[in-house]
Amino acid sequence: MIKLLGLATLLFVSNISCRDNSLINNANSKNLVQPKTDSIFSIETRYQALKDSVIALRKIYKTQYQQSINKAEVVKLARASFIQLLEKDFFTIWNGTQWDFYGTTQIPQKGKIACGYFVTTILRDMGVKIDRVAMAETYSERLIKTLIKPEFIKKYVPFNLKNFVQEKQKEADNVYIVGLDNHVGFVIVENHQVWFLHSSVLQPGAVVKERADTSMALQINYYTVAGNLTADETFIKNWIQIQP
């Protein structure tokens, strides 16, 4: 039997819980998750445990893919795990990390991070092969085209946020990298809800998760490129170390 694997399956790897499932809503319900700061383990230790668990998870999926007669199902489940890991695990530990235009920290909650580095650091630490520095400092459309096949990339000019959200609400759960006029972040579609995860120059000036339809960062935008990262089967196969 093939099962969806997540971090809960792999806690034995490190014996350290990498996830904090407590939800703390702020006044406008945009900043949804705050990592605990009273853990007996340092943030560095918890983050390394998270990264190590992802390595173990990818190895399990690779083995399942090699042994299964239903390889498409393994890819489907790996895609679901990738979405869950990014939104529930990596975002959670990075949430609230301060933004700065020159921010390049590689440790959540320590130092500051710019929008491009937020995207490339998470992808690298999830096991995606990416030049963290070069792709963080290039224009976002190049970043998207480097990772995602053209058929999974769409441009919106001029950008209409209402239409964009309505379009995504009709689609399956996926992770998008979205490049804006002067910004970049992740759009997550989950159960027909659309979220924007990014390191925001706007208030609160930190890594946040916002409803896409009310995100000011998305509203003040004309040129948008959206790349559907997880719909690209080649990307998922590469992530679990299967050559296309």
**DSSP-assigned states of every residue in 11-42:** HHHHSS------B---TTS---B---S--SS-
Q: Is residue 244 one of the residues assigned to a domain? A: no
Domain contains 1: no
What's the domain range around 73?
Answer: 7-239
Residue 203 lies in a domain: yes
Domain presence at residue 231: yes
pLDDT digits (tens, 9 = 90+) for 63-90: 999 999 999 999 999 999 999 999 999 9
Look at residue 112 in the predicted model and tell me its pLDDT: 98
83 is a domain residue: yes
Split at pLDDT 50, 70, 90, the class of 243 is low
Average pLDDT (155-160) is 96
Task: Answer whether residue 131 is part of any domain.
Answer: yes
* Percent of the chain scoring above 70 in pLDDT: 83
CA distance 51 to 53: 5
Q: 241 pLDDT band (50/70/90 cuts)?
A: confident
Q: What is the pLDDT of residues 15-47, one digit of tens each?
A: 333 333 222 223 233 333 344 455 688 999 999
E runs forming strands in 129-239? 153-156, 174-179, 184-190, 193-199, 207-211, 224-228
Sheet harboring 174-179: ordered strands across?
153-156, 224-228, 174-179, 184-190, 193-199, 207-211
Q: How many structural domains is the chain composed of? A: 1
In a domain, 65, yes or no: yes
Q: In this model, does residue 8 exceed pLDDT 70?
A: no
CA distance 184 to 186: 7
Domain assignment present for 136:
yes
Mean pLDDT, range 94-101, rounded to an integer: 97
**The pLDDT value given to residue 39:** 66
In this prediction, residue 135 has a pLDDT band, given cuts at 50, 70 and 90, of very high
Mean pLDDT of the chain: 86
